[in-house]
Chains A and B, each alone.
Chain A
Amino acid sequence: MGLNWGSKKKPELYNFEQEEKNDEDRKSRERLDREEQKLDKKQKKIDEQIQQAEEARSEQLAQRLEIEDQRRRFEEEEARRKAKKEADAAANAPQPPAAVTLKPDTDIPDLAVSEQSEGKTQSGERVSVAVPPSPDALVKDSESLTTETVVAPIIGSTPSIFFRTPWSKTDRPLHGLSMNGYAGDVHCDAGTFGQIASIGATLRGQKHQVPEKVTGAAGQNEDWFATFCAVSSNGAKYVVSAVCDGLSSAAYSWYGARRTSTSLARDVADGIGTLSEVNSVSLQAIVDRSLTQQAETLLTWNPSEYGAPQVDPSEVDPNALGCTVTLTVVSAEPDSNGVHRIVAGNVGDSPVFNLSGGVWRKVSPPDVDTGDILDTKTHAFPRHTECALVDDVLKPGECILMTSDGVGNFILRNGMTLALGNYLSTRWNNPIGILSFLNQLNFDLPTADDDRTAVAFWPS
């Protein structure tokens, strides 16, 4: 408070005292502010230390798992070397003249006679027809040629021929370029939005890496995914992701998968902007409208535009772009119970899983019991546009995982966790490094040769 020199009233001592008191109050407040700031700084430092400790713990766990992996690979390699040594020793030992057949029937003599290709001896007995040596054996010679320093996890009992063969090998090549581009060997999107961390990746499967005999070129990744961010009309944040798996029988399914996943994720993200309440009911109309419109306008590309097939769309059957569709919407902020709401749905069989406490659960679609026999029949867009949505939740410590069947088929089968599911259950339960995610998605397992797509969501 200042003095009023223009006033006739004599300044009073009381004012000075008040001023002094005010000054003390101000100093006290400043002191308290400083102390609070100090505490804040200290708290921040402690938080940072806790975070560092948690990161160190995660890193240590990852290193431990990696060491276990390396140990397992070393033991397998050692066993293989030992077996090879024994086989070599046996091969070098004097051999009886008889050849080998597989038939255990005692009526069939164990004789291989390559010069008698009609399979009959002069005495009329059944004989074997000689065949060239297995290329599996020939490939073993190239093991030392591998160019990889990052080793993908081996899920099967033995490494596949692909695993043992350098990608750059040009005699009997296994990894060809695509004749028309867009091979899609690796595509990855990772990042955070709100309180959600997400990594999505798709890898071209071995099936589409092997060059055709005629052209010498290979195929394209027929999977794709797209991840978008969305904000509802009342400001709530969401992550939207769509995974599409092109049908192998459809000539342009690689384009159908890329176009459909991107269009659907974008349409749903846009649609969320008009909603105040986001759930399976409110999203259903948006998804239905998007898929119906896309099906109607599928054949509208320009062959010269980026990413489009180099063919006039009027010459193409819409089903030649056939693909499965899987959609997941994750609320980026937890609700009052600390859980993230999710909405998921499918056209076809590409699954969405929940990983909780090392246990996989299928969120959608429901399992169909086909008995002993695998059934490859699946619904696919654009022939089908029905995509029934379900609500589910993502709790702290859990993971939501969308996959194409090139991955999902080896995680969980009719409720039974398979070897890959077991392997990933301790690795994808928390956010992991992007390159580690890619490497683990590149797992080695014989017959798992389809394109692979996985999109993971973790709460922070």
Chain B
Amino acid sequence: MSNVEMPTGEQILPFYIVCDESGSMEPIGGIAAINQALPDLHAEIASNPLVADKCRIGLITFSDTAEELMSLTKLSDVVAMPGMQARGVTNYGSVFDLLKQVIVRDIANLKSQGFEVFRPAVFFITDGEPTDDPAWENSYRSLMDKATFRQYPNIIAFGVHGANASVIGKVGSVGAFIGDNGVAPAVALSEIMRSLTDSIMNSSGSSTPTLVVPSAPTGTTAVTLEPM
């Protein structure tokens, strides 16, 4: 067997950026802020050969339903990032269901290519409370149950505008942040995108890849985690 045919053991860090696309994101400038930040995220990651090789980025949006906007991808292979578009309400449950399916599929896919995969990380961004409360909690528990789902992700949650701090504290498993009063949501979202970009860079850039949880982005405050 030649080397090329054998598994190489290359080590991959999967990151999923999960964005709220509900109708309320449009008037607060959230959609524009995130769409403007995506090319910066791409430029930062794709221009660093170490980080670009090691991390894979997926983009998932949710409102009435969840949608995989960009499947887990090496950003240096990307020639255009898909943009977000406001629509519908804020159903959390659908995105946790989709995340579980996508993680299972992606890890199997990466391993079949001979890669070793680190625990996935999810950046969850929302501007509102769940409209499917409390049903979303079952979907969340299914995704995060360490006993039955060994591929469970680490989640860092960010909430702005109408998001509920307590709910954000429940969603975040390793970090949770809520936008400060008096800070324009669009500004806070721009800072959040910058912060998660730094987190990806630092996580992939350490000698032994581990998720580097960011400190509170400017215009936000850390929320106490409330494990469910």
Interface residue ranges, A against B (CB under 8 Å): 72, 99-105, 107-108, 112, 117-120, 124-136, 139, 155-157, 160-162, 172, 174, 205-208, 210, 222, 246-249, 371-376, 378, 405-406, 409-410, 413, 416-420, 422-423, 445-451
Contact = CB atoms under 8 A, between A and B. Distances in A.
Contact of B79 (A105, A131, A172): A131
Contact of B53 (A157, A160, A205, A416): A160
A209 B10 CA distance: 19
Given A119-B31, A130-B39, A131-B79, 7 more contacts: A103-B71, A104-B71, A124-B85, A210-B50, A374-B11, A374-B116, A406-B207
B49 A105 contact: no
A449 to B, nearest CB: 5
Contacts, number: 204
A131 B46 contact: yes
The 10 A-B pairs at the shortest CB distance, nearest first, are namely A119-B83, A248-B207, A128-B80, A161-B49, A119-B35, A112-B80, A419-B3, A418-B9, A131-B42, A419-B6
Interface string B70-88: 1101011111111111000
A206 B204 CA distance: 13
A158 to B, nearest CB: 9
Contacts of B84: 119, 126
A395 B149 CA distance: 44
B144 to A, nearest CB: 14
A131 B208 contact: no
Nearest to A127: B83
B81 A207 contact: no
B111 interface: yes
A277 B168 CA distance: 62
Nearest to A157: B4
B215 interface: no
A210 B209 CA distance: 16
Nearest to A210: B50
A422 B70 contact: no
Contacts of A208: 207
B44 to A, nearest CB: 10
A410 B116 CA distance: 10
B178 to A, nearest CB: 25
Contacts of B82: 101-103, 108, 119, 126-129
B205 interface: yes
A131 B11 contact: no
A117 B50 CA distance: 28
Nearest to B41: A131
A418 B42 CA distance: 31
B107 interface: yes
B52 interface: yes
Q: Is the interface of B mostly helix, strand, loop or mixed?
A: mixed
A447 B119 CA distance: 16
B109 to A, nearest CB: 12
A130 to B, nearest CB: 6
B150 A373 contact: yes
B205 A207 contact: yes
A102 B78 contact: yes
A419 B4 contact: yes
A413 B116 contact: yes
B206 interface: yes
B31 A155 contact: no
Contacts of A126: 69, 82-85
Contact of B118 (A157, A246, A374): A374
B6 A100 contact: no
B80 A447 contact: no
Contacts of B151: 371-373
Given A108-B82, A373-B151, A405 B208 contact: yes
A419 B43 CA distance: 31
B12 A447 contact: yes
Q: Which residue, B9, B36, B39, has most C-beta atoms of chain A within 10 A?
A: B9
B78 A131 contact: yes
Given A118-B83, A129-B83, A156 B47 contact: no
Contacts of A420: 3, 8-9
B67 A422 contact: no
A156 B36 CA distance: 35
A222 B207 contact: yes
B97 interface: no
Interface string B104-140: 0001000100101111000000000000000000000
Contacts of B36: 117-118
Contacts of B3: 155, 419-420, 422-423
Nearest to B119: A373
Contacts of A99: 79-80
A417 B6 contact: yes
Given A120-B31, A128-B82, A447-B54, A372 B207 contact: no
Contacts of A445: 8, 10
Contacts of A372: 107, 111, 117, 150-151
B210 interface: yes
Interface in B144-198: 150-151
B117 A120 contact: no
A112 B76 CA distance: 17
B53 A419 contact: no
Interface in B16-51: 31-32, 35-36, 38-39, 42-43, 46-50
